Structure 1
Amino acid sequence: MAGGGRAWASGAVGLCLLLLPLTGCGGGRTASGPAMAEVQQVLDRRAAAVLGHDQRAYTETGTRASYADLRAVPLAEWSYRLTALHPDGAGATAEARLSYRIQGYDRAPVTTDRALTLSRTADGHWYVAADKPGRKAGQQLWDQGTVTAVEGAHSLVLGVGQSGDTLREYAGLADTAVPAVSKAWGTQWTQRVVLVVPRSLNGMAGLLGAPASNYRGIAAVTTGEVSEANGGSSPSKTGAGSGRTPADRVILNPEAYAVLGSVGKQVVLTHETTHVATRTHTSAATPLWLSEGYADWIGYLGTGRTAPEAAPELARAVQDGDLPEDLPVDKDFGFTDDPTKLAEAYEGGWLACRMIAAHWGQERLDAFYRAVGAHQGRTGAVEDALRGELGTTSADFTARWRDYLTDQLGE
């Protein structure tokens, strides 16, 4: 298994405003009117300070801790939209939607919910006392500490708690992955990738808003912003994409990734970069055996790895007489307590794509992938693409795949 599962996933001035009475001062009630407008203006000034690299102006709007943590991130946009304000004694809590875009990488902003704690100075000025992830939102990297940024020829690596040498190594691997993916898939994508490297597995889980146990042993995941026009901004798994790639991220699990050899590290990053490149042609109709198998197929190109070397778990099963009856289904790619079954699912998808390239050719493999993703509706996509692009049926394809497993993995 090359990678892991996917988690799909936006001139400062320092004037503070005089506090006007909150509308509806009872605890737990939502404020509106002038109070909302005042707090929004404070957040607008705070955003302008971030973009203007004006620490003094930022500090005048509230806590300055996060400013130093995100200062290295090359931002093109940063804005807050206040969505709710709740009075709480002398202060308030607020809910806001943060939108930001990384310069040169994001085609559209990343959006995420934030929970703000607001206080007042003695003379009645609002300020931000705390800015944290919203109740159902994952962390941003700068929530975990000071971000270091390293830019490569085709990549931006953002890390917390990582040495500059490590981040430069990862940038080099990403810079190798991008042209490799373009050579196989084509150049109709951004041809740039953002790598996010937290301090630990727990940091990775915090970014994804999920338990760490879900990602233990998973070297990396790819996330992507889902367009609001396509149903909101929550992350989604690869295979249920929006047809756009406004802001993809490759998030590394530093604990699992660090123990890989040089070939393994490169395969993982090439695999994840393939997801970035193919997501405009990946839809709800694309089965995970195809999206993950295709990413592994590109990841292993040129490595010289044989089928048994790259698919050891499935090779063991075949040699033990446990030949799969069918291609892996999406639930087989879920993160469970059975890493063998998960590995077999990835390996089965890779060998299916490898078989298509060997028997029908790479151009037909690419056309098949695009045809499945372009299908109108979730049902019948694979069957229609098999007939239209490969001239075969699902039953015949599965039989060929089973024979291919025996041929490639049997003793």
Structure 2
Amino acid sequence: MAGRRRSGGWRALLCLPLAGAFSLTALSGCGPVPAPDDPEGRDGRAVQRMLDQRAAAVRERDADAFLATVDRGSAGYLAEQRRVFRQMSAVPLRSWTYRLVRTGGFEPARVGGRSLAAQVELRYRLKGYDTAPVVSAQYLTLARRGGQWYVASDDGVVDGKRGTEQLWDQGTVDVVRGAHSLVLGVGQDRRVLRAVADTADRAVPVLGHVWPQEWAGRVVVEVPASLGRMAALLGASADGYRGIAAVTTGEVGGAGDETPADRVIVNPEAYQVLGDFGRRVVITHETAHVATRTATSASTPLWLSEGFADWVGYRTPGRTPRQIAPSSPTPSPPGTCPPRSRATPTSASAATPTASPAPMNRAGSPAA
């Protein structure tokens, strides 16, 4: 890097007398030297070529080509990448790309020799299900070996956050396809995943009856092995999701490629204690968020987005209001004011689909 700075300074001196001669400047190659964190600089272009090769290897299911982009001097990371590549073999990919956002911005891992911190954007779609890509951040340490860049670590931290963890980072992904759903699970009995797919298949047509705008009509559900694993997928603390049966990831507003794909992520520890009706409410509620994502924005009132999702979730024939909300006060006769309540029901009990308190679902856009 020091050599490059000296070269840049020498070129700047040569170009100074030619400031008014644009054609001579262009012919001589004089001009601004790319900054160290400029993806268009020499290192940036070389890194992007390596990332393109890495992405092509994933799309083509070529393990050897994928591992050829990993630093051989980082034996532990090489073994981990071999395992992760194998664990995602059943995932139906439609696309997979990397984009170098910038170099620098965090302290790279110690790898010996020249290293580079790289902030990378991963975008991928699942075949037959995603109309827009999932977008996630990766903070990579790259090692320079024999004139080439290799990935040596993905443990970088930026602003206190690590890169987004994917389900296949946690174990071998099992895939169950439904009529309107795709369920990806790790550490779960296949019968559990099939039951989730059946529930999602019942939820999607419900939205078709009540939501007037066009949407994909499909939902992707991820079922990790535990609450802790769920929290890792969301980049959050497990304490914040204890007792919550499922969440929906995604960003409000936009359309098409402007809105990243949604995922319904199940908390297996809370979901499994619900009855059939409760599970149906949870999955239908989250599916409502998937269907309405492009019609909502940051200014959409929470009572409206959550209220609509609850309304859709509880649209089950044969259920009375008293069965749905057993702790709610008795409705007052028309034309009269309700009596003043001594206590306000908690959000969990007010929305609990069974008579006894049970874990509830929550939808939203968790911070990456």
Q: Name the TM-score, length of structure 2 as normaliser.
A: 0.71
- Matching residue of 2:303: 289
Residues 285, 39 of structure 1: CA spacing in aligned structure 2 closer, same or farther, 3 A cutoff? closer
Pair 1:59-2:78 in alignment: no
Give the Cα separation in 1 of the matches to 2:3 and 2:69.
19
What pairs up with 1:62-211 in 2 under 5 angstroms?
A: 62=70, 63=78, 64-86=82-104, 90=113, 91-121=115-145, 123-132=146-155, 135=158, 136=161, 137-186=163-212, 188-211=214-237
Decide whether the 8 Å contact of 2:138 with 2:164 is kept in 1.
Answer: no
Decide whether the 8 Å contact of 1:292 with 1:346 is kept in 2.
Answer: no
Residues 149, 24 of structure 1: CA spacing in aligned structure 2 closer, same or farther, 3 A cutoff? farther
The aligned amino acid for 1:76 is R
The aligned amino acid for 1:141 is L
Decide whether the 8 Å contact of 1:141 with 1:160 is kept in 2.
Answer: yes
Aligned residue for 1:312, secondary structure, equals coil
The aligned amino acid for 1:217 is G
Q: 1:77-102 deviations in whole A, cap 9, x for unaligned?
A: 11111123347651333211111111
Aligned residue for 1:276, secondary structure, equals helix
Larger radius of gyration, structure 1 or 2?
A: 2
Q: Give the deviation of 1:21 after TM superposition.
A: 9.2
Identity of aligned residues (%): 51
Decide whether the 8 Å contact of 1:80 with 1:96 is kept in 2.
Answer: yes
Q: 1:378-411 deviations in whole A, cap 9, x for unaligned?
A: xxxxxxxxxxxxxxxxxxxxxxxxxxxxxxxxxx
- Matching residue of 1:39: 47
Q: 1:213-268 deviations in whole A, cap 9, x for unaligned?
A: 111111111111x3xxxxxxxxxxxxx53466551111111110011111111111
Q: Which structure 1 residue ranges, 5 or more long, are not aligned?
A: 1-19, 227-239, 326-339, 348-411
Residues 21, 261 of structure 1: CA spacing in aligned structure 2 closer, same or farther, 3 A cutoff? farther
Q: Give the deviation of 1:284 after TM superposition.
A: 3.5
Give the Cα separation in 1 of the matches to 2:239 and 2:339.
30
- Matching residue of 1:322: 341
Decide whether the 8 Å contact of 1:201 with 1:255 is kept in 2.
Answer: yes
- Matching residue of 1:355: none
Aligned length, in residue pairs: 296
Decide whether the 8 Å contact of 1:22 with 1:31 is kept in 2.
Answer: no
- Matching residue of 1:247: 261
Decide whether the 8 Å contact of 1:36 with 1:85 is kept in 2.
Answer: yes
Decide whether the 8 Å contact of 2:325 with 2:350 is kept in 1.
Answer: no
- Matching residue of 2:249: 223
Decide whether the 8 Å contact of 1:50 with 1:78 is kept in 2.
Answer: yes
The aligned amino acid for 1:322 is S
Decide whether the 8 Å contact of 1:289 with 1:346 is kept in 2.
Answer: no
Decide whether the 8 Å contact of 2:176 with 2:194 is kept in 1.
Answer: yes
Q: Which structure 2 residue ranges, 5 or more long, are not aligned?
A: 7-34, 71-77, 333-337, 353-368
Residues 221, 49 of structure 1: CA spacing in aligned structure 2 closer, same or farther, 3 A cutoff? same
Q: Give the deviation of 1:183 after TM superposition.
A: 2.0
The structure with higher relative contact order (CA 8 Å, sep 6+) is: 1
Give the Cα separation in 2 of the matches to 1:316 and 1:281.
34
- Matching residue of 2:30: none
Q: Give the deviation of 1:342 after TM superposition.
A: 2.5
**What is the RMSD of the two structures over their aligned residues, measured on CA atoms?**
3.1
Q: Name the TM-score, length of structure 1 as normaliser.
A: 0.64
